[in-house]
Structure 1
């Protein structure tokens, strides 16, 4: 009997919510999921349907969620549905809902940019080279086992988080002459969190389609989806 994956996508187009989530539909179907795609969190209020959902893949950057919509999502996770996503689609969604932020365990705060003298006003102003470091916990976790540290050139998320997260990978924001901070700051890059009977998986890397296609990121997300699912 196949499981049910619900994709909720939308928000800021710059994160390519349709293209990035579409790229994982064949993977989910190959792993025996029936996939439903929605463009609004309103589906979370459909209690009868949400009781059938085994995995919620949410990519919905800088959007809003109504109290009854969040209640439906939280109920599903507490009862065992997995919740997964990447980048701003999960870690920069529903900023005004504290209970959502509590459940996710991390909130985007900043991405360091290039030297101000090199900026052109494009998204690429925030693309910098950085390394994703697998933690000791990550070396043994099924999502990141066998994956070594790897380099990316994309947005590097500074994430506000708490110690309840199981952090599988980190990244460190260095200090450049034009930055406001005075020492390097390490943030989670990949983390998981158990919430009620459900599991939460977040990958901070995933800005656009080219990033989720990067082999290390792709493997981590695919494993994360399967790990989170009921």
Structure 2
């Protein structure tokens, strides 16, 4: 399939390197036949003509805010068939003040637990924990994750609040530690898809830094996820 259009919307908190991170995937999209447009403001979502002509939105906007018109434009476009995809805080920690956005995405970053307090040095690496991304039964046969095995990462391990409209393709489990207040292991979705009207939503929580995005497993999941989410009709 050729002649598709992708809209890359990036900005927000610079700690997730929205420009450099999305730049990693522009050649892939172009190689797959997408005409790519890049915007640094989510107000583009309010442009009905642009959104109707867009087959895939790749969003990388951590935190930040979104206007009512832009949010309505995004939700309506996905409902009409535009795909929405992203990773880490660029999609799962965007627009914290908007419950309607959170409903569209299906999962919200809550925290990323840190290492032992005595080992913390006040750096972002305090939150880099070794953990495993575990492919679910559904994930073993899904187009995005088929053929992949469970794999380890040492990076932020997202604790996500979510609902059961998601089709969860991979999970990660937060263990019990004596320095954390929870009393049993808790499992969070790490990769999921979501149907919204005629549109598709894809979210992967790994992707804090460029080296994580370059991990072969993570990159494969994201590239497949971008293609899967793109408009189907």
Structure 2-normalised TM-score? Answer: 0.98
Matches within 5 A, 1:35-50: 35-50=36-51
Matches within 5 A, 1:60-139: 60-139=61-140
Report what 1:24 is aligned to. Answer: 25
Take 1:99 and 1:45, find their aligned partners in 2: how far apart are those partners?
A: 15
Q: Give the deviation of 1:56 after TM superposition.
A: 0.2
Matches within 5 A, 1:1-230: 1-230=2-231
For structure 1, which runs of at least 5 residues remain unmatched after alignment?
none
Take 1:208 and 1:55, find their aligned partners in 2: how far apart are those partners?
A: 23
Query: Which contiguous aligned blocks of 4+ residues in structure 1 show a shift greater than 6 angstroms?
Result: none
Q: Give the deviation of 1:213 after TM superposition.
A: 0.6
Take 1:97 and 1:163, find their aligned partners in 2: how far apart are those partners?
A: 19
1:142-175 alpha-carbon deviations (Å, 9 max, x no partner): 0000000000000000000011100000000001
For structure 2, which runs of at least 5 residues remain unmatched after alignment?
none
Q: CA RMSD in A?
A: 0.6
Q: Give the deviation of 1:21 after TM superposition.
A: 0.2
Q: Give the deviation of 1:25 after TM superposition.
A: 0.1
Q: Give the deviation of 1:187 after TM superposition.
A: 0.5
Take 1:161 and 1:49, find their aligned partners in 2: how far apart are those partners?
A: 30
Take 1:32 and 1:14, find their aligned partners in 2: how far apart are those partners?
A: 30
Q: Tell me the secondary structure at the aligned position of residue 153 of structure 2.
A: strand
Take 1:25 and 1:95, find their aligned partners in 2: how far apart are those partners?
A: 27
Q: Give the deviation of 1:45 after TM superposition.
A: 1.1
Q: Tell me the secondary structure at the aligned position of residue 140 of structure 2.
A: helix
Take 1:119 and 1:43, find their aligned partners in 2: how far apart are those partners?
A: 40
Q: Give the deviation of 1:49 after TM superposition.
A: 1.1
Take 1:180 and 1:111, find their aligned partners in 2: how far apart are those partners?
A: 14
Structure 1-normalised TM-score? Answer: 0.99
